[in-house]
């Protein structure tokens, strides 16, 4: 619905890239010579030069689910740090609780934060907690800091023409786990074993190990973890950040059987479903096999899903005999059920 000034109201999910260019990026305060990676479309982390180190920063809220939000917050923010070639070290969070929340719910959120942080060797260094009017469920916004060197720093804008694009694991991992946890009534006709396996996908949402493995290999130019909008949106963001075209082979994007069944029941597209747990790697075509073998030793599944091209070639995704234009995904499939 248009507002009084003639602009359209936002839909649930990420703010459109065109709006970010107009309403966010022109307002970034004082410029700093220490800033190595700043805000931009498809950039999930910032980096600054600090003495002989590079500090990497990321912040993300968890809004798509109320289940295990502490665990999700640590892993999602750690993923962004690792895709920059940095090791996540310090974590802070702001926890906003609805008026009917109690100490037990807060304790569970922090227990999940503690477990996830310990699993990655991360220290919780601070945060803020409050009861907030107008909320119907808890929201957590995490902030992560990591370290790397200038030589190992990567950015999603670093892709090069001719790079092959690799994908780890399968599409829609996080979204599948959320759907099974939050929409159980709609999925009650699926086999209990299928639902149990899908629920455990939440244990695969970290990409820290595979990202740090890939970052050490010469020829890896950029990494990106697809979150809202799924793998297709992540591929578009990678191309946009690198100012390149891209050819995507959707038939090569693996979808777990559990994800496929859940999405068929709910009428959703798994390639546009929240996909934390997968990692996109843009790598020199001559080094793709080397990177693939290293990732398989992690071990994770690796698939070649596309190739970066010149901007003039455009951005396309092939699905069977169809070749369609690849565009930013405006709304994650998860939010269609909200």
Residue 184 confidence (pLDDT): 85
What tokens were used for 60? 């993300």
What is the Cα–Cα distance from 202 to 72, expressed in whole angstroms?
8
- pLDDT tens across the length of the chain (338 residues): 455 555 678 888 889 999 999 999 999 999 999 999 999 998 989 999 999 999 999 999 998 888 899 999 999 999 999 999 999 999 999 999 999 999 999 999 999 999 999 999 999 999 999 999 999 999 999 999 999 999 999 999 999 999 999 999 999 999 999 999 989 889 999 999 999 999 999 999 999 999 999 999 999 999 999 999 999 999 999 999 999 999 999 999 999 999 999 999 999 999 999 999 999 999 999 999 999 999 999 999 999 999 999 999 999 999 999 999 999 999 999 999 87
Domains and CATH numbers, the chain: 17-148 (3.30.1330.10), 156-337 (3.90.650.10)
- Angstrom CA distances, 186 to 171, 312, 333, stand at 21, 44, 15
Residue 1 confidence (pLDDT): 46
Q: Starting at the earlier edge strand, list the strands of the sheet with 123-131.
A: 35-37, 46-50, 53-62, 139-148, 87-97, 123-131
Residue 253 confidence (pLDDT): 98
Which residues, other chains included, contact 197 with Cβ-Cβ below 8 Å and sequence gap of 6+?
258
What tokens were used for 176? 């599948």
250 in Cβ contact with 272 (< 8 Å): no
What tokens were used for 134? 């107008």
Among the listed residues 185, 304, 281, 223, the one whose alpha carbon sits nearest the alpha carbon of residue 42: 223
- b (16+ CB within 10 A) / e for 149-174: eeeebbbbbbbeeebbbbbbbbbbbb
Strands (E), the chain: 35-37, 46-50, 53-62, 87-97, 123-131, 139-148, 164-168, 220-224, 245-249, 280-283, 302-309, 315-319, 322-325
Residue 300 confidence (pLDDT): 97
What tokens were used for 64? 């798509």
CA 80 to chain centre: 7
- Angstrom CA distances, 242 to 95, 212, 253, 292, stand at 34, 20, 21, 22
Q: Helix H segments across 189-303?
A: 192-199, 208-215, 230-242, 257-266, 288-296
Among the listed residues 30, 70, 65, 24, the one whose alpha carbon sits nearest the alpha carbon of residue 43: 24
- Per-position DSSP letters for 143-178, written without gaps between them: EEEEEE-TTT---GGG--TT-EEEEES-TTHHHHHH
> Between β-strands 220-224 and 280-283, what pairing exists: parallel, antiparallel or unpaired?
antiparallel
What is the Cα–Cα distance from 78 to 208, expressed in whole angstroms?
7
Among the listed residues 64, 65, 89, 95, the one whose alpha carbon sits nearest the alpha carbon of residue 77: 89
DSSP H or E segment with residue 82: helix 69-82
What tokens were used for 51? 């003495």
What is the Cα–Cα distance from 285 to 130, expressed in whole angstroms?
50
């Amino acid at each position: 619905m248009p507002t009084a000034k003639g602009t359209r109201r936002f839909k649930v999910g990420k703010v459109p890239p065109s709006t970010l260019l107009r309403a966010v990026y022109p307002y970034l305060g004082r410029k700093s010579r220490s800033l190595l990676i700043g805000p931009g479309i498809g950039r999930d982390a910032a980096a600054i030069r600090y003495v002989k180190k590079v500090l990497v920063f990321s912040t993300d809220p968890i809004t798509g689910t109320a289940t295990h939000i502490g665990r999700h917050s640590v892993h999602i923010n750690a993923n962004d740090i690792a895709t920059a070639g940095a090791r996540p070290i310090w974590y802070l969070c702001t926890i906003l609780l609805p008026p009917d929340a109690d100490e037990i719910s807060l304790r569970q959120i922090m227990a999940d934060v503690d477990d996830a942080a310990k699993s990655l060797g991360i220290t919780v260094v601070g945060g803020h907690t409050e009861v907030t009017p107008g909320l119907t469920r808890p929201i957590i916004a995490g902030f992560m800091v990591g370290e790397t060197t200038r030589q190992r720093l990567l950015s999603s804008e670093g892709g090069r023409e001719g790079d092959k694009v690799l994908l780890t694991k399968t599409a829609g991992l996080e979204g599948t786990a959320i759907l099974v946890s939050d929409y159980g009534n709609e999925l009650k006709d699926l086999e209990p074993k299928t639902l149990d396996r899908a629920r455990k996908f939440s244990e695969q949402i970290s990409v820290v190990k595979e990202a740090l493995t890939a970052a050490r290999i010469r020829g890896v130019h950029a990494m990106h973890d697809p979150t809202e909008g799924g793998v297709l949106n992540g591929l578009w963001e990678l191309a946009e950040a690198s100012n390149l075209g891209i050819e995507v082979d959707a038939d090569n994007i693996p979808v777990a059987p559990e994800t496929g069944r859940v999405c068929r029941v709910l009428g959703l597209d798994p390639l546009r479903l929240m996909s934390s747990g997968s990692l996109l790697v843009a790598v020199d075509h001559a080094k793709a096999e080397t990177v693939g073998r290293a990732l398989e030793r992690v071990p994770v599944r690796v698939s070649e899903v596309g190739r970066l091209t010149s901007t003039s070639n455009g951005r396309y995704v092939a699905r069977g005999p169809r070749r369609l234009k690849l565009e930013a995904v405006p709304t994650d499939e998860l939010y269609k059920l909200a």
